[in-house]
Amino acid sequence: MLTEHAWLLFHGVMLRLTFLLLSLVATPAMAQPQAIAIPAHPGEQTANGPATLNAVLWQPAGRGPHAAIVLMHGCAGMNTRAGQPFPRDTDWARRLSQLGYLILQVDSLTPRNEGNLCGQGGDRRIRVSVERARDAYAGLLFLQARPDVRADRIALMGWSNGGGTVLWSLSRGNRARPAGLRV
């Protein structure tokens, strides 16, 4: 006979397994990710930055409008040294898209001719508080203009250096923040 604690633990595990199996069986068809270019933040354009940013769009099944998520990569960029997308980032984008979110992965490095920020220390040319925050807001502005996106349901998510970008982007004093934006 199971103790009450063991029963609750078993019950929780079984519920999670059931949910996982149902989500795998009920996963809707999904379009392949699409490489696109989005307009850079106006502050980047006036600071002699890139006019456009590379991005990857993951369109969920259904007509929408969809909630959306801007994904910000870590210090190594969107691709491995072999030029392939990082499996972690691709896995998250795929899973979130399958859950019904429109996903936009923004590339902060390639448009600035940078391959990797890891190990650069404090004097990075691409800073989480300025350039990367502008890129996050460029993603937001791009998604808000799309008719298949719910403009009031856009999230920002990032890993490592991209996680720092998320925190800086949400800072009330960040100059990259569009006027009138509420957090």
Q: Is residue 118's pLDDT more than 60?
A: yes
The DSSP bridge partners found for residue 162 are none
Instruction: Give the model's pLDDT for residue 125.
Output: 82
- Percent pLDDT > 70 in the chain is 81
Q: Has residue 179 got a pLDDT over 60?
A: yes
- The model's pTM is 0.80
Choose the weakest-confidence range: 7-11, 37-41, 84-88, 122-126: 7-11
Please check the confidence at residue 18 and state whether its pLDDT lies above 70. no
The answer to whether 71 and 162 are in contact (CB under 8 A) is yes
Give the CA dihedral 117, 137, 155, 153, nearest 10 degrees.
Answer: -170
Q: Mean pLDDT throughout 124-133?
A: 88
Can you give the three-state secondary structure of 138-155, one letter per residue? HHHHHHHCCCCEEEEEEE
**Mean of per-residue pLDDT scores for the chain:** 84
